[in-house]
Amino acid sequence: MNTSSSSAPSASSINKVMVVSCKAKKGGLMQRPSFWPMALIIATAALLASCARPPATPAVPAGSATGQPDAIGTLPGTRLQGKSRWVPVQWAELPGFEEDALFEAWNAWIKSCERPGPAFAPLCAEVRRLSIASGPEQRAWMVARLQPYRVESLQGAPDGLLTSYYEPVLKASRQPGAGYTVPLYRPPVGLGSRKPWFSRQEIDTLPEARAALRGREIAWVSDPVEMMSLHIQGSGRLSITEPDGSQRVVRVAYAGSNEQPFRSVTQWLADQGEGRMVAPWVDSTKAWAAKNSPQRVQQMLWSNPRYTFFQEQPLSDFDAAFGPKGAQGVPLTPGRSIAVDPGSIPYGTPVWLASRGGAANLQKLVLAQDTGSAIVGAVRADYFAGTGLDAGQLASRFNQPLRLWALWPK
């Protein structure tokens, strides 16, 4: 659906009459003045016919009836994009392109247009107008305006890894006690003056670290494993009890870290001979913790020295439909936002994702809107599954092959 329009010629009496004619026809008052010349009558009739037609979709290369281009179409050259190599391909290479419910991804694309990169900013007006277009119109516009590139490593490998993350929901209290003993902290003053900052174990044991965090508590939660999950995911929601006893839900978003290395708790348990924790990670790890001493559980938690700090954000009904803001600075859309290595795929890029595995078989349009410390490499993505328990169970099952195609403006 081509929503762009060329600027009108300079104002003339013919243009003015044509505008009046369209309005008159809509009101059922169209009459032909006897003094109109025949050329003007013909031009006016053509305009009136166009008034009844919706804007035309953009022209697309010859090919299938769905607007898919021929395989023999001319392609641009290969692009080197930081850590990756982008190989131009025909749209026919994208698996499932004709079947995806594109309107589900359009919300994420509109969010990206709140903070677009320079390559996509010129398209954003069209993207917004296409939010009410049909799937075939959206597909035809993509084919006309974008070029797909298969994302590969610099060595030419097209295969990578897809994992997933989510936004956990934890019960919390503004006051410690009654089972709520694990604090959730804002960043300490002067966090950046010491790099790296204290490790997780040092935060729990050193007086200097504890003094720096005193008064920085946002809230307290009851389970240290759930808190570790929140630290790993980087953001979440708190169903919180206020001092007056009232309940409300707030969002806690990533605000910084101690810049210590991340170590997998699951890997530590395997190295200790405890076996592999089955999905979902939080439930299986809590079950393990219930069978072991507090000292052993503490060792497990301290095996990951990385520590995350948070900031509290209000959560409106509108915000609740989306996830937290990603690294692009826009809210994430469940099932349509991914975290990438920005050295391979710039933020805000529409990406075609294909992955088959035990968690799900995916062939869909997504937007590159976030990153993470473990998301490194050309063909690497973390799929935002959504909020809450069901999303967490889905996210825990993802660890499967991946291919990506970046969709870049022509």
Q: Is residue 381 part of a domain?
A: no
- Decide which of 278, 313, 348 is a domain's last residue: 313
Question: Distance between CA atoms of 391 and 372, rounded to whole angstroms?
Answer: 18
User: What pLDDT score does 278 carry?
Assistant: 65
CATH code where residue 278 lies = 2.40.240.50
- Decide which of 313, 336, 354 is a domain's last residue: 313
Which residues are within 8 A (CB) of 158 and not within 5 positions of it... i.e. 6 or more apart? 150, 151, 152, 379, 403
With 0-12 / 13-18 / 19 or more C-beta atoms within 10 angstroms meaning exposed / middle / buried, residue 336 is: buried
DSSP-derived letter for residue 46 is: H
DSSP-derived letter for residue 123 is: G
Q: Is residue 199 part of a domain?
A: yes
pTM for the structure as a whole: 0.77
Work out how many domains the chain is built from and give that number. Answer: 2
Query: How many Cα atoms within 13 Å fall on the side-chain side of residue 194?
Result: 13
Q: Is residue 286 part of a domain?
A: yes
Domain containing residue 46: 13-51
Q: Is residue 223 part of a domain?
A: yes
For 365-405, the pLDDT digits (tens) are 999 999 988 899 999 999 999 999 999 999 989 999 999 99
Q: Is residue 220 part of a domain?
A: yes
Degrees to nearest 5, angle at CA 253 with 249 and 254:
155
With 0-12 / 13-18 / 19 or more C-beta atoms within 10 angstroms meaning exposed / middle / buried, residue 291 is: exposed
Closest CA to 408 of 75, 64, 125: 75
For 55-108, the pLDDT digits (tens) are 343 433 333 333 444 444 689 999 999 999 999 999 999 999 999 999 999 999
For 324-359, the pLDDT digits (tens) are 999 999 999 999 999 999 999 999 999 999 999 988
Residue 281: band (very low, low, confident or very high) from pLDDT cuts 50, 70, 90: confident
- Decide which of 268, 284, 313 is a domain's last residue: 313
Question: Distance between CA atoms of 152 and 158, rounded to whole angstroms?
Answer: 4
Tokens of 62: 């010859």
Q: Is residue 189 part of a domain?
A: yes
One-letter amino acid identity for 159? D
Which residues are within 8 A (CB) of 93 and not within 5 positions of it... i.e. 6 or more apart? 148, 150, 405
Q: Is residue 405 part of a domain?
A: no
Q: Is residue 153 part of a domain?
A: no
